[in-house]
């Protein structure tokens, strides 16, 4: 997971951990754990899809952020 790239997209879209967590239906603490991959926490497919649509990400950017 490329945390810096996801953070840059958040900044470009004026999102904070709280606003993105709310959009994903998770707590800010859960979002932080997923971004930091704490204890194996990962974004699920639905969350990745929501982020992709929210930020209008290309396939390449999704791969770079979540699978790179």
- Looking at residue 1, its pLDDT comes to 95
Q: What pTM did the predictor assign? A: 0.95
Q: What is the DSSP string of the chain?
A: --HHHHHHHHHHTT--HHHHHHHHTS-HHHHHHHHHTGGG----HHHHHHHHHHHT--HHHHIIIII-
Could you report the per-residue pLDDT of 16-25, keeping only the tens digit for each?
Answer: 999 999 999 9
How many domains would you assign to the chain?
1
Could you report the per-residue pLDDT of 18-58, keeping only the tens digit for each?
Answer: 999 999 999 999 999 999 999 999 999 999 999 999 999 99
Expressed as residue numbers, the domain containing 43 is: 3-67
**Is 68 a residue whose pLDDT tops 90?**
no
- Looking at residue 14, its pLDDT comes to 98
- Looking at residue 29, its pLDDT comes to 97
What's the CATH code of the domain at 15?
1.10.260.40
């Amino acid at each position: 997971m490329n945390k810096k790239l996801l953070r840059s997209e958040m900044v470009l879209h004026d999102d904070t951990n709280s606003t993105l967590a709310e959009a994903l239906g998770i707590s800010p603490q859960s979002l932080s754990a997923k971004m930091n991959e704490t204890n194996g926490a990962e974004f699920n497919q639905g969350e990745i899809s929501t982020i992709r649509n929210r930020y209008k990400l290309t396939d390449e950017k999704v791969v770079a952020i979540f699978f790179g």
